[in-house]
Amino acid sequence: MLDTERYFLICVNVLGGCMGTTGPQDVDPASGEPWALSFPVITVRDMVRAQKRLLEHLGIDSLFCVIGGSMGGMQALQWAASYPECVFSSVPIAAAARHSAQNIAFHEVGRQAIMADPDWCGGRYLSLGRKPARGLAVARMAAHITYLSEAALHRKFGRNLQDRRAVTYGFDADFQVESYLRHQGSTFVDRFDANSYLYITRAMDYFDLAAEHGGSLPAAFAGTRSRFCVISFTSDWLFPTSESRELVHALNAVAANVSFVEIATENGHDAFLLHEPELFETLRGFLAGCAEHRGLTR
């Protein structure tokens, strides 16, 4: 999707996560124990601020393009709003300028599943040698449903049974979709930290660019010289096209250079992670145009 022979890619683990950058599972030097819930609640703006500090450390003063999907799209927007002088172009994919009430609600279900697990121990599970695996798995299952569309679920699973010829009239995974979700939950537990899940989902909930600028979304981009390409997917009900259009209208209101593409697909929110030829062509075309405008053509 992105030509690494032409572009130098920087991919930073987010603040509050569990894949490298400091998060609640890391050790608090003052106590010698994992931070757990004493780790400060962070925002998408904090994530971007940490990324900006990294670029300053590396001696990089501007970025050709900031691109991302979902929470990555939020970061792409935050970059353009907070550091417009550093961002030549921004590509938010399957994202929005704020998290909706529906999305906050789904996140809360996941967080409550984690916190209801007896092994969560008020967030101190690492110090006690325990792990809230069941709660985290349920949180992942609930979230994963939102990444897909009804059409995608029907196409992939329908009402097909899992390794049996008839339903059992019990509570085993009779249907393939049930088995799939259980697998998604159990494998996620092996690679993610429960407290990081709490912190990252909360950061997404708090994301609201308009609120950071007196309730005006256009004000977040006033005077911007960045170029934008906003991309949405027809079957994405987690971040629907209507929210992308709201963003485009705000950018148009301040005469920003913005293009918008709605891609027809049945793959739902997850489409930006899958093989979507129109997405690839859109990105290639936009980046090529930006490169030509900046005099970077070969």
The string of pLDDT tens digits covering residues 2-29 is: 899 999 999 999 999 999 999 999 999 9
Q: What is the DSSP-derived secondary structure letter of residue 208?
A: B
Distance CA 199, CA 26 (A): 13
Rounded Cα gap, residues 197 and 215, in angstroms: 28
Domains, the chain, with CATH or none? 43-98+213-298 (3.40.50.1820)
**CA 143 to the chain's CA centroid:** 12
Give the residue among 44, 133, 93 at the shortest CA–CA distance from 236.
93
* Per-residue model confidence as pLDDT tens for the chain (298 residues): 789 999 999 999 999 999 999 999 999 999 999 999 999 999 999 999 999 999 999 999 999 999 999 999 999 999 999 999 999 999 999 999 999 999 999 999 999 999 999 999 999 999 999 999 999 999 999 999 999 999 999 999 999 999 999 999 999 999 999 999 999 999 999 999 999 999 999 999 999 999 999 999 999 999 999 999 999 999 999 999 999 999 999 999 999 999 999 999 999 999 999 999 999 999 999 999 999 988 766 5
E strand intervals along 14-171:
27-28, 33-34, 66-69, 89-93
What pLDDT was estimated at residue 194? 98
Instruction: From the candidates 70, 149, 232, 244, give the one annotated as an active-site residue.
Output: 70
pLDDT confidence of residue 295: 77
Residue-level pLDDT at 294:
82
Residue 72 CA, chain-centre distance (Å), reads 5
CB atoms closer than 10 angstroms to residue 24:
25
Task: Measure the CA–CA gap between 288 and 276, rounded to whole angstroms.
Answer: 19
Q: Annotated catalytic residue: which of 107, 236, 244, 270? A: 236
Q: What is the pLDDT of residue 297?
A: 63
CB 258 within 8 A of CB 251: yes
Helical packing angle, 71-82 and 44-58, nearest 10°:
70
Torsion of CA 41, 226, 209, 38, to 10 degrees: 0
Mean pLDDT of the chain, nearest integer: 97
Q: Which one of the listed residues 99, 205, 244, 269 is annotated catalytic?
A: 269
CA dihedral defined by 167, 173, 175, 178, rounded to 10 degrees? Answer: 160
Closest Cα to residue 201, out of 131, 132, 143, 118?
143
| R_g of the chain computed on alpha carbons | 21
Q: Distance between CA 29 and CA 15 in Å, rounded?
A: 17
Angstrom distance (rounded) from CA 147 to CA 70: 10
Provide the 8-state DSSP code for 113: H
What residues form DSSP beta bridges with 227? 89, 257
Task: Respond yes or no: is residue 236 known to be catalytic.
Answer: yes
Residue with tokens 């509050």, as numbered in its chain: 16
Which SS3 state, helix, strand or coil, does residue 203 take? helix
Q: Decide if 70 is catalytic.
A: yes
Q: What percent of the chain has pLDDT over 70?
A: 99
